[in-house]
Structure 1
Amino acid sequence: MDSLIVAAAQALAAGDALGAMKRVALRDDAPALALRGIAMAQLGDLDRAKALLKNAARAFGPRETVARARCIVAQAEIALVSRDLGWPEKALETARAVLDKHGDRINAAHARNLQIRRLLLVGHLDEAERLLAKLDPSPLPPAARASHELAVAGIAIRRLRTEPARAALARAAEAARRADIAALDVEVRNAARALDAPAARLIAGGTERLLSLGEVEALLSSGTLVVDACRNVVRRGSEVLSLASRPVLFVLARVLAEAAPADAPRALLLSRAFRARHADESHRARLRVEIGRLRAALEPFADIDATPQGFVLTLRGKGDIVVLAPPMETEHAFLLALLADGEAWSSSALAIALATSPRTVQRALDALAAAGKVQSVGNGRARRWMMPPVVGFPTTLLLPGPLPSD
Structure 2
Amino acid sequence: MDSLITAAARALASGDALGALKRVALREDAPALALRGIAMAQLGDLVRAKALLKSAARAFGPREAVARARCLVAEAEIALASRDLTWPVKALEAARATLQARGDRVNAAHAGNIAIRRLVLIGRLDEAEQALGALDPTPLPPALRTAHELVASGIAVRRLRTEAARAALERARLSAKEADIPALTAEVEAAARVLDMPTARLISHGGERPLLLHEVETLFSGETLVVDACRHVVRKGDTVVPLASRPVLFALARALAEAWPGDVSRGALIARAFRGKHADESHRARLRVEIGRLRAALQGLAEISATKRGFRLAPRGLGEIAGLAPLVEGPHAAVLAFLADGEAWSTSALSIALGASPRTVQRALDVLAGEGKAQSLGRGRARRWLSPPLAAFPTILLLPGPLPSD
Q: TM-score range by the shorter chain?
A: over 0.9
Give the drift of 1:395: 3.6
The answer for the alignment partner of 1:118 in structure 2 is 118
Deviations 1:382-405 (A, max 9, x none): 11111111xx66446332421699
Whether the 8 Å CA contact 1:66–1:405 is kept in 2: the answer is no
User: What one-letter code is carried by the residue in structure 1 that aligns with 2:241?
Assistant: L
Task: Give distance in 2, aligned partners of 1:404 and 1:223.
Answer: 54
Task: Give distance in 2, aligned partners of 1:113 and 1:388.
Answer: 29
User: What one-letter code is carried by the residue in structure 1 that aligns with 2:399?
Assistant: G
Task: Give distance in 1, aligned partners of 2:103 and 2:381.
Answer: 37
Task: Give distance in 2, aligned partners of 1:240 and 1:29.
Answer: 59
Give the drift of 1:72: 0.4
Give the drift of 1:43: 1.1
Secondary structure of the 2:196 match is: coil
Give the drift of 1:330: 3.0
1:77 and 2:83 matched: no
The answer for the alignment partner of 2:397 in structure 1 is 399
The answer for the alignment partner of 2:15 in structure 1 is 15
Whether the 8 Å CA contact 1:12–1:400 is kept in 2: the answer is no
The answer for the alignment partner of 1:355 in structure 2 is 355
The answer for the alignment partner of 1:370 in structure 2 is 370
Sequence identity of aligned pairs in percent? Answer: 69
The answer for the alignment partner of 1:322 in structure 2 is 322
Deviations 1:68-109 (A, max 9, x none): 100000000000000001101110011001111111010011
Q: 1:28 to 1:405 in 2, by over 3 A?
A: farther
Which of 5-14 and 132-141 deviates more?
A: 132-141
The answer for the alignment partner of 2:388 in structure 1 is 388
Whether the 8 Å CA contact 2:74–2:398 is kept in 1: the answer is no
Map of 1:216-255 to 2, 5 A cutoff? Answer: 216-255=216-255
1:196 and 2:196 matched: yes
Q: Which ranges of structure 1 fall in alignment gaps of 5 or more residues?
A: none
The answer for the alignment partner of 1:65 in structure 2 is 65
Map of 1:57-206 to 2, 5 A cutoff? Answer: 57-206=57-206
Task: Give distance in 1, aligned partners of 2:182 and 2:381.
Answer: 32
The answer for the alignment partner of 2:3 in structure 1 is 3
Give the drift of 1:315: 0.9
Give the drift of 1:300: 1.2
Give the drift of 1:142: 1.2
Deviations 1:118-162 (A, max 9, x none): 011100000000110111112221111111111000000000000
User: What one-letter code is carried by the residue in structure 1 that aligns with 2:109?
Assistant: A
Aligned length: 404
Whether the 8 Å CA contact 1:200–1:210 is kept in 2: the answer is yes
Task: Give distance in 2, aligned partners of 1:60 and 1:405.
Answer: 18
Deviations 1:215-245 (A, max 9, x none): 0000000011000110010000001100111
The answer for the alignment partner of 1:31 in structure 2 is 31
Task: Give distance in 1, aligned partners of 2:203 and 2:303.
Answer: 20
The answer for the alignment partner of 2:336 in structure 1 is 336
Whether the 8 Å CA contact 1:30–1:404 is kept in 2: the answer is no
Secondary structure of the 2:140 match is: coil
Deviations 1:39-86 (A, max 9, x none): 111111111110110111111111111111000000000000000011
User: What one-letter code is carried by the residue in structure 2 that aligns with 1:314?
Assistant: A
The answer for the alignment partner of 2:277 in structure 1 is 277
Q: 1:394 to 1:242 in 2, by over 3 A?
A: closer
Secondary structure of the 2:208 match is: strand
Whether the 8 Å CA contact 1:375–1:387 is kept in 2: the answer is yes
1:257 and 2:257 matched: yes
Secondary structure of the 1:171 match is: helix
User: What one-letter code is carried by the residue in structure 2 that aligns with 1:397?
Assistant: T
Whether the 8 Å CA contact 1:31–1:403 is kept in 2: the answer is no
Using CA pairs below 8 Å that are at least 6 residues apart, which structure has the higher relative contact order?
Answer: 1
Q: After TM superposition, where is structure 1 displaced by more than 2 Å over at least 4 residues in a row?
A: 392-398, 403-406
User: What one-letter code is carried by the residue in structure 1 that aligns with 2:141?
Assistant: P
User: What one-letter code is carried by the residue in structure 1 that aligns with 2:397?
Assistant: L
Task: Give distance in 1, aligned partners of 2:47 and 2:274.
Answer: 48
Q: 1:404 to 1:350 in 2, by over 3 A?
A: farther
Task: Give distance in 2, aligned partners of 1:316 and 1:44.
Answer: 55
Give the drift of 1:334: 1.3
Secondary structure of the 2:202 match is: strand
User: What one-letter code is carried by the residue in structure 1 that aligns with 2:395?
Assistant: L
1:213 and 2:239 matched: no
User: What one-letter code is carried by the residue in structure 2 that aligns with 1:111?
Assistant: A
Q: Which ranges of structure 2 fall in alignment gaps of 5 or more residues?
A: none
Secondary structure of the 1:328 match is: coil
Whether the 8 Å CA contact 2:18–2:39 is kept in 1: the answer is yes
TM-score under structure 2 normalisation? 0.97
Task: Give distance in 1, aligned partners of 2:328 and 2:367.
Answer: 17
Task: Give distance in 2, aligned partners of 1:63 and 1:95.
Answer: 14
Whether the 8 Å CA contact 1:64–1:405 is kept in 2: the answer is no
Secondary structure of the 2:331 match is: coil
Q: 1:403 to 1:68 in 2, by over 3 A?
A: farther
User: What one-letter code is carried by the residue in structure 2 that aligns with 1:117?
Assistant: R
Task: Give distance in 1, aligned partners of 2:58 and 2:135.
Answer: 29
1:50 and 2:37 matched: no
